[in-house]
Amino acid sequence: MLNVALPKGRLGEKVLAMFEKAGWECPEIHEPGRKLIFENAENQVRYFWVKPSDVAIYVERGAADIGVCGKDILLEYAPDVYELLDLKTGICRMAVAAPKGFTDPKDRALRVATKFGSITSRHYASTGREIDMIHLNGSIELAPILKLSDVIVDIVETGTTLRENDLEVIENIVPISARLIANKASYKFKSGVIDAIRRSIEEQITEA
């Protein structure tokens, strides 16, 4: 049985379609309901819906053999997994954003609100700017509006959230997209099936 962790949400639906097109169908997963785990005994696959930021944990610890997660999670948590393929979907970027007209207060540490502490630390270590990091869990865009922070480091996809909150990107840090990842031991023992999935999905991406 191949255990596959899929990120709940729009990206997960798209990725599931890729897996099914690759031949690993699972009719049960399309039935309405709140079930989180689905199995097709015939083609030996089991899918489960996981919070996107948790996929890498399931894969790293072997609860899932493979999964799909954003490059942001791989950069932030550096899980001990194999990154097999860039799925060229879920495309966005990690960026620094600030209120329009922002100027850097050079006489003190820059207050940065983010969910991505490691990416933020590395970024400002590379520029040599001293920061005061404020860890938040969501709605990061609120922080500079309420003067909790000077800037934010967050994911920007369409830019709508920034625009509607009078913020703008002042620096791009890194491009992000969805990645196919594998548990290291699973990849050793199930490399045949995992490679077949990787190849088929890669062909779908090239054809698109």
Enumerate binding residues for ligand PRP (CB under 6 A). Answer: 138-141, 154-161
CB closer to ligand PRP, 22 vs 75: 75
- Which residues, including other chains, have CB under 8 Å from residue 119's CB and lie 6 or more apart? 72, 75, 76, 94, 153, 173, 174
Specify the residue, 11 or 45, whose C-beta has the smaller distance to ligand PRP.
11
Q: How far is the CB of 130 from ligand PRP (least distance, A)?
A: 25
Name the minimum Å distance from CB 161 to ligand PRP: 3
3-state secondary structure of 188: helix
For ligand PRP, the closer of residues 155 and 193 by Cβ is 155
Q: What is the dihedral of CA 191, 196, 200, 202, to 10 degrees?
A: 30
Is the Cβ of residue 26 or residue 69 nearer to ligand PRP in the bound state?
69
Choose between 128 and 138: whose C-beta lies nearer to ligand PRP. Answer: 138
* Residue 97: CB minimum distance to ligand PRP, A: 9
Nearest Cα neighbor of 52 from 28, 77, 29, 35 is 77
Separation between Cα atoms, residue 190 and residue 177, nearest integer Å: 25
Smallest distance from the beta carbon of 15 to ligand PRP, in angstroms? 16
Q: Is 63 left (phi over 0), alpha (psi -120 to 50) or beta?
A: alpha
Smallest gap, in angstroms, from Cβ of residue 60 to ligand PRP?
21
Q: Residue 106 contacts by C-beta under 8 Å, 6 or more apart in sequence? A: none
